[in-house]
Structure 1
Amino acid sequence: MKITACRLLLLFLLIPFLSKAQTETELNSGWRCIKADELKANGSQVSATDYNVNQWMPATVPGTVLTTLVNNRKMPDPFYGMNNKQIPDIYYKGNAYYTYWFVTNFTHKKPAAGRTVFLNLRGINYTCEIFINGQKLKADDAQGMFLRQSHNITQYLKADGKNRLAILVHPAPVAGKPNGGQGGDGTIARNVGMQYTAGWDWIQPTADRNTGIWDKVTIQETGNVRINAPHVVTLVPGVRLPGAKQDAAIIKTSAELQNNTAKPVSGLLNYTINGQTVSKQVTLSANTTTEIALPALTMNNPKLWWPNGYGEQYLYPSNFEFTEGGKVLSDKQEMQVGIRQIDTKWNEITNSRQIAVNGQKIFIKGGNWIISDAMLRFSDARYDAEVRYHRDMNLNLIRIWGGAMIERPEFYAACDKYGMLVFQDFWMSGDCNGRWIDPAKTDDQWTRRKYPDDHSLFLRSAEDQIKMVRNHASLAIWCGGNEIPPPDDILVPLRDQLLPKLDGTRWFIDYSNSAEMSYNTDGGNGDGPYGIQNINTFWQHKTFPFNSEVGSVGVGDYESLQRFIPAANLKAPKFDGKKESVDSVWDYHKYIGYENSIKPYGEAKDARDFAMKAQLVNYDQYRALMEGFSSHMWEWYTGSIIWKTQNPWTALRGQMYDYYLDANACLYGLRSGSEPVHVAYNPVDGNIIAINNGFKNLNNHMLVVKTYDMAGRDSLLTQVFISIGASSYQKVLSLKSQVDALRKKDGVFLSVQLLDERKQVQSNNFYWLPNMDGEYSGLQYIKKAKLNVFAKQLANGKVEISLTNPKGGPVAFFNRLALINSTTKQRVLPAFTADNYLSVMPGESKKVVIEYPQTVKDRLQLQLYGWNVDEQILDIN
């Protein structure tokens, strides 16, 4: 099934912008485009409202040239099969091939005296020429992928309100050769833009290098004075506890006021939050922009913002207003504010940086993020879904990798909502920017070290993007680049001037694996490993104490593979003990090997069988990864960041969910291993480890450990009361001899549970352990389980599943739940399942809730299948 059939269903509940102007309208429809060298007319002509563009191609804006071509079926879907190879690459065709005119009509009358209208462009890649109603706008800074533009277009508007906007978009000057290297031949980094578009080890090249009007275009009307770059800083001194009565917080605010007139303007700047207002009377000189700082505001007993797993993510609605003469509203900016304070210090025990929020140390459990969609097809709904998946994995941080971009305000709004701290890189990478000798690169290290070509543009873009996102509660760390710092003439002003002036409240690290972040006394600092590992490694091998990139495999299930791999290419990879051989399409989509890890479950019969067994490996890998880090917190580690948790295209590595937002078992294994309160089994020494990420001691909790054999017979190994200190872990007892005896021949199931004083389950961890030879021999002959399943609709967008495994049979092992369209039998995506790839013990009942977009009105059914449970498709009552 191709991509268009699976974007099911990203148009659900939208999230608000962090900062929103009251008078702003988005121009996101009615656009048309044409290849520039096919057009004889000039910009003055095509921007005239009577110039006929009806024969031009409908354009997607915001979007890239390639997005428009794919949407118009001029190019095939580059995410399917080997289609991307059919699309002409800009390096070989030349920049003119992807140079396009974009045109749209819009209605906005020339305003009355005292009013001003602006055209705002949040992202054009890479240079542009802008015309309105036959007139060319002055655009001295109209270059670079990230520098926003704002133009006063009041004088160009027509009295009748019927206007035309025309924009000629040119690609970046250096396309970069897509030669298979990290960032191709590296020259893509000569631009101030994204580096991954020339290809990486997790993605094929993007043929147009994402040329286009890729971000929002808006028309904004204000009075004589416009509010720019509002800034809110929250100070929360001391050590706080979630839910407790709070000491006061301090809120400091400022804004840039732009006087658009040729005379001085006096007025009142207000900032309001939680019913409190601070104000300042100002007089602004003619045609100037002036930064105005307001008096500090004290908020008593504030509701604080906490990272995921530690407390509520409370957001206060607030706004800035400027009124001329204290009477006429000139402009208003609304935003959501999370009151919190982020600090860092060096942990002398771990030799790594430690992060605190509101005075409390936070053990970082993070994921690396590239970009939501490789072709920049962003939406509020997709951002919300992706960040929610990270919340559901019990993570508390997302790192934005330096080969992409400063993420959009809508992404940050989702992180504010779900409690995800953000580690934001600037636009550098060790691969392109010269950290290593690389024969795939055109230029030597000394030359690459000076990239990009225009350092002034980099700094101006950085200044602009800092202002764009700095008010978000979730933004926690600024980073100069991925695995390498910027050149000194960028690094020094960025670190010592721009960030202190424009922000000053976050930790800045010069590069992602700097020794200032983390230092292993056995070998400095670094990243990785990135591939499949023996799960014992996570427990017993000490790696970098704040590892910015560590990860593993991530193939989706068979349903996922079918979406982008043609049927003829759905062949299981084969491993001969030395090398894994894969189909050409799998290889093109950057498959990373499972090597010997499938064989213990039995040789894969076909791609479907391989995908099912891969999910067992996925679950085990990521649960063990986070258990290994968490079981050494504050002793070996202050955190880890998984490489990586998402893919912006149809890749076959490093993902907890696929491009179509369909979760695989990585997500649920990581969710288990990352629980805020967790009990785990150390496979190396047999110890039961109790982990408490919270700020309070847990007393009188009951630990219950059982095993189940392949016939479903259970054995109670221990049931004991334990207490766990705040923000700590402890070894409870070793059960190695008992467990080894029980798993000796066929392997065994191991259930580790923690119950609180109300007998409520706080952690429910279920392992399948191999026999003493490392084989899952028992799973290969386990009998079928008869799982009774019932599904009922709880509310719009919410279904409850009841699962019962009758007594006397085996464990109903590793069951996958999915909601499907009753007609097409295709999955509803995204779907947020409280638990999945789950097992039900004999005599046990479980309930699982699945949430999905409320916009879905189709008749749905439940699909369920498991390792030893036959597929069932049931109606929902």
Structure 2
Amino acid sequence: MLEATPLTDGWTLRHEGEALPAVVPGCVHTDLMAAGVIPDPFLGRNESEVAWVGRRDWTYERDLDAASAHEQTDLVFDGLDTVAEIRLDGRLLGRVRNMHRSYRFDVTGLPGRLAVRFLSAYAEAEAVRGRLGERPAAYAEPYQYVRKMACSFGWDWGPTLVTAGIWRPVRLEHWSTARIARVRPLVTVEEGGGRVELAVDVERTRVEAPLTVEAAVGGVRARAEIDGTRGRVRLQVPDARLWWPRGYGEQPLYDVELALRGGDGEVLDVWRRRTGFRSVELDTSRDSRGTGFTLVVNGERLFARGVNWIPDDVFPSRITRARYRERLTQAADAGVDLVRVWGGGIYESEDFYDVCDELGLLVWQDFPFACAAYPEEQPLRGEVEAEARENVVRLMPHPSLVLWNGNNENLWGFRDWGWEPQLAGDSWGEGYYLGVLPRVVAESDPTRPYTAGSPWSGSWRHHPNDPAHGTHHSWEVWNREDYADYRRSVPRFVAEFGWQAPPAYATLRRALPAQELAPDSPGMLHHQKADDGNGKLERGLARHFAVPERDFDRWHYLTQVNQARAIAAGIEHWRSHWPVCAGTVVWQLNDCWPVTSWAAIDGDGREKPLYHELKRLYADRLAALRRQGDKLELALVNQSGQAWTGELELRRVSVDGRVISGSGEKFTVDRRAVAVVPVPHRLCPTGPDEFLVADAWGSPRRSEAGSAGDQRALFFPAPDREIPYPRPEFDVALAPGGITVTAHTLVRDLLLQADRLDPDARADRGLVTLLPGERVTIGVRGWKTPDAALARSALYCLEPTR
């Protein structure tokens, strides 16, 4: 039986002739921090002080005892970041240049000193650029010339911290006769059950030895002979239960085990995974509106409620299974059902996909290409194909994985960002996205759809970012326009759109210790990486609010309100146009360090108001008021599997709390459907001192007095800076597990910033608008000493501007 020995202990890192303790898996930066050589680059402006680390070569060392009674011993690295020479007692075992691959070296009977020398990724990238020529990119760093996590080199939300190290586990594997080299599982759904076909590759020490494989799943067993180095075993699983996305059904998972046996029946090696049975299609058929882009799982057409995922830490070796579970559970709790793993990052670890399997989160997986023209010559071309083949097969067991995507924004960049004339015929990646990668997916994983890029209209016959065809990235709004302009079009699938806001107050206080907080303070500007980011924040704010002068707390609150409002404007509009629009993927769920960004969860894991707004926007049932010309409509969106019936109450209200007019009626919305209700003219607000309230109550109506409907929509006809809000009046009282706020006036966008009470405190809801007489209970966890007066000091809402 194959025996594995983890190599986690005894490592040192060579620094200026000194041997520092090293943690494996890990990276140079985290080891240098632990040794006190460098400060935490996340704090203040320390990032700049540690830039030299990425320019140096580094060596990890430890003693290696490869002695074993087995016939062969392999040294196996699951991940090396990125360019390295591996030597044993000075003997070269190999050279590597790809962070996204694993590596195996025969070290049978070779004890000695193991050294893994990492060359600077900058040096490698610049050498490749020198040989292959310049290629354009969105950023000045040379990330497109090396197969490494691109955002290590910095992004418009990330620091420039170019890492090196043994970033994934390393071990010795001792084996005899044969071992399992690769298992390619094809999991499909057939009438009456499921089917698992396991294509097995083996490596041998004895060519003539007879070998068999035995597989088991769901109580079904099968056996097959190995012919040379390959075999195939098939299993039919009758009455297999279907795996569904969250909100559509359950997520049953099945253990799959494959054993490799020798001629005497001895088990030589075992491969184990979990999988689930489901079908997935991507409907890109043409219609009168253009070219669709709709995911279909188990025959059910979905509106994808998505978020974009970036690496959760600039130092990915620090991301544990528990951290993946925490962050992805936050996503699921917000109503998310699709996570797009963005192409400037990595193929995540098994832990990520395991958690998605369990939570029912669909995974859209980008291949690691983003915002640059990538050379297609060697040495990159061979590395790209090798990494793609390895990772496609590695991730195939996971039912959560439903889509392979060739790249992020590179097809769009070629057409719109001035690349084509700069390239003058040089390769730029098209051969990967339209050639190599679809071929690898078709050959290795025909059970899943592939799309060439995001955005991508499906062919060069249309502009790559044409909203009428395929996927669309909506960035004109954030960069140049008001978020109300999201409502001007109905793309077929919005794969990226977003709006910035700063992180939580406690996150800023930790990241910028002893600094005065101001939007333009040196520390705040260092933790704002977007081009003219603060300018865009201020211009976006000024369209709706009076921008506060020299009041950081108010600026902090209003920018977070504006972020939530912007995303709401897009999602409400696009969801109300299902099935023409079949999904929204918010940029972005998470951050990799403390920074002003588009994230809903900041770099310390704290939820911004946007996170809580997503709970409303991505709920199965949503009410949204929208202007159509000079008329108002209420869209009732029902993404649940049952019809939605109830009572609808519409009220035209003045900002001082008077109900001017109202009406009520019953409604029914079919499952997975949208119903549009015209708003009578007499209920439409006539000026900035009026607004419309729509409450949809489920049937039977179950609600306490003083609370909103099951779904509430509000329509204010003017920007907030023009609305004569009353001075807000409300009472605050402690409640079991939180506080209760009772409004005596209109209280718009009330927010409890719980981290101002205690850095560990979290509120269970974000922005809420209360009419006079209404109340809300806000749960708070992690608050060590509850106090009503203190809670009032952490409550923010909109106030009169004059």
Q: TM-score, normalised by structure 1?
A: 0.77
Provide the residue aligned with 1:166 in structure 2: 115
Provide the residue aligned with 1:465 in structure 2: 391
How far, CA to CA, are the matches of 2:314 and 2:215 in structure 1?
Answer: 38
How far, CA to CA, are the matches of 2:252 and 2:500 in structure 1?
Answer: 35
1:717 is the counterpart of 2:662:
yes
2:26–2:166 Cα contact (<8 Å) kept = yes
- When residues 497 and 842 of structure 1 are mapped into structure 2, their CA distance, relative to the original with a 3 A threshold, is same
How far, CA to CA, are the matches of 1:700 and 1:849 in structure 2?
Answer: 29
Map residues 506-545 of structure 1 onto 2, 5 A cutoff.
506-516=448-458, 520=466, 527-529=473-475, 531-532=477-478, 534-539=482-487, 541-545=488-492
Provide the residue aligned with 2:280 in structure 1: 342
How far, CA to CA, are the matches of 1:764 and 1:506 in structure 2?
Answer: 38
1:483 is the counterpart of 2:436:
no
- When residues 458 and 807 of structure 1 are mapped into structure 2, their CA distance, relative to the original with a 3 A threshold, is closer
Aligned residues with identical type, % of pairs: 18
Map residues 234-249 of structure 1 onto 2, 5 A cutoff.
234-237=187-190, 247-249=192-194
Provide the residue aligned with 1:123 in structure 2: 79
Deviation at 1:530, TM superposition (A): 5.7
Provide the residue aligned with 2:400 in structure 1: 474
How far, CA to CA, are the matches of 1:488 and 1:870 in structure 2?
Answer: 55
1:58 is the counterpart of 2:21:
yes
Map residues 242-641 of structure 1 onto 2, 5 A cutoff.
247-259=192-204, 261-282=205-226, 285=228, 290-300=229-239, 302-325=240-263, 327-349=265-287, 350=289, 351-376=291-316, 377-429=318-370, 431-433=371-373, 449-450=375-376, 453-484=379-410, 487=429, 489-491=431-433, 494-495=436-437, 497-516=439-458, 520=466, 527-529=473-475, 531-532=477-478, 534-539=482-487, 541-572=488-519, 584-585=525-526, 587=528, 591-592=533-534, 593-599=536-542, 600-604=544-548, 605-635=550-580, 637-641=581-585
Provide the residue aligned with 1:835 in structure 2: 765
How far, CA to CA, are the matches of 1:74 and 1:90 in structure 2?
Answer: 11
How far, CA to CA, are the matches of 2:323 and 2:614 in structure 1?
Answer: 21
Deviation at 1:707, TM superposition (A): 6.8
Provide the residue aligned with 1:689 in structure 2: 635
1:398–1:420 Cα contact (<8 Å) kept = yes
1:155 is the counterpart of 2:100:
no
User: Partner letter of residue 169 of structure 1?
Assistant: F
What secondary structure sits across from 2:678 in the alignment? strand
Q: Which of 683, 693, 718 does residue 750 from structure 1 map onto?
A: 693
Which digits, 9 at most, give the CA deviation of each residue in 1:512-541, with x for residues without a partner?
2121188747799752226545453233x1
How far, CA to CA, are the matches of 2:786 and 2:8 in structure 1?
Answer: 36
Deviation at 1:573, TM superposition (A): 5.8
Provide the residue aligned with 1:11 in structure 2: none
How far, CA to CA, are the matches of 2:261 and 2:385 in structure 1?
Answer: 33
Number of residue equivalences? 754
What secondary structure sits across from 1:536 in the alignment? helix
1:820–1:861 Cα contact (<8 Å) kept = no
Uncovered stretches (5+) of structure 2, i.e. residues with no partner: 412-427, 796-802
- When residues 757 and 248 of structure 1 are mapped into structure 2, their CA distance, relative to the original with a 3 A threshold, is farther
What secondary structure sits across from 1:296 in the alignment? strand
Deviation at 1:659, TM superposition (A): 0.8
1:237–1:359 Cα contact (<8 Å) kept = no
Uncovered stretches (5+) of structure 1, i.e. residues with no partner: 1-20, 40-54, 158-162, 239-246, 434-447, 575-580, 792-800, 853-858, 873-877
1:804–1:843 Cα contact (<8 Å) kept = no
1:680–1:752 Cα contact (<8 Å) kept = no
2:506–2:755 Cα contact (<8 Å) kept = no
Provide the residue aligned with 1:12 in structure 2: none
- When residues 494 and 148 of structure 1 are mapped into structure 2, their CA distance, relative to the original with a 3 A threshold, is same
Deviation at 1:697, TM superposition (A): 4.5
Deviation at 1:399, TM superposition (A): 1.9
Provide the residue aligned with 1:645 in structure 2: 589
What secondary structure sits across from 1:682 in the alignment? strand
Deviation at 1:640, TM superposition (A): 2.6
2:568–2:617 Cα contact (<8 Å) kept = yes
User: Partner letter of residue 193 of structure 2?
Assistant: A
How far, CA to CA, are the matches of 1:789 and 1:691 in structure 2?
Answer: 35
Map residues 676-825 of structure 1 onto 2, 5 A cutoff.
676-683=620-627, 685-694=631-640, 696-705=641-650, 717-734=662-679, 737-741=682-686, 744-745=688-689, 748=691, 750=693, 752-757=695-700, 759=702, 764-766=710-712, 770=716, 772=718, 774-775=720-721, 777-779=723-725, 781-783=727-729, 785-791=730-736, 801=737, 803-806=739-742, 811=747, 814-816=750-752, 818=754, 825=758
Deviation at 1:364, TM superposition (A): 1.8
Comparing 391-400 with 82-91, greater Cα deviation is found at 82-91
2:255–2:274 Cα contact (<8 Å) kept = yes
User: Partner letter of residue 224 of structure 1?
Assistant: T
How far, CA to CA, are the matches of 1:845 and 1:112 in structure 2?
Answer: 73
Provide the residue aligned with 2:414 in structure 1: none
How far, CA to CA, are the matches of 1:479 and 1:702 in structure 2?
Answer: 43
What secondary structure sits across from 2:281 in the alignment? strand
2:70–2:175 Cα contact (<8 Å) kept = no
How far, CA to CA, are the matches of 1:169 and 1:807 in structure 2?
Answer: 62
1:31 is the counterpart of 2:31:
no
- When residues 847 and 110 of structure 1 are mapped into structure 2, their CA distance, relative to the original with a 3 A threshold, is farther
1:192–1:452 Cα contact (<8 Å) kept = no
- When residues 582 and 850 of structure 1 are mapped into structure 2, their CA distance, relative to the original with a 3 A threshold, is closer
Provide the residue aligned with 2:798 in structure 1: none
1:200 is the counterpart of 2:155:
yes
Map residues 227-238 of structure 1 onto 2, 5 A cutoff.
227-237=180-190
What secondary structure sits across from 1:775 in the alignment? helix
User: Partner letter of residue 197 of structure 1?
Assistant: S
What secondary structure sits across from 1:266 in the alignment? coil
User: Partner letter of residue 623 of structure 2?
Assistant: V
2:477–2:483 Cα contact (<8 Å) kept = no
What secondary structure sits across from 1:130 in the alignment? strand
- When residues 642 and 221 of structure 1 are mapped into structure 2, their CA distance, relative to the original with a 3 A threshold, is same
How far, CA to CA, are the matches of 2:438 and 2:742 in structure 1?
Answer: 66
2:753–2:794 Cα contact (<8 Å) kept = no
How far, CA to CA, are the matches of 1:176 and 1:697 in structure 2?
Answer: 58
Provide the residue aligned with 2:619 in structure 1: 675
Two-structure CA RMSD over aligned residues (Å): 3.7
Deviation at 1:809, TM superposition (A): 6.4
1:174–1:187 Cα contact (<8 Å) kept = no
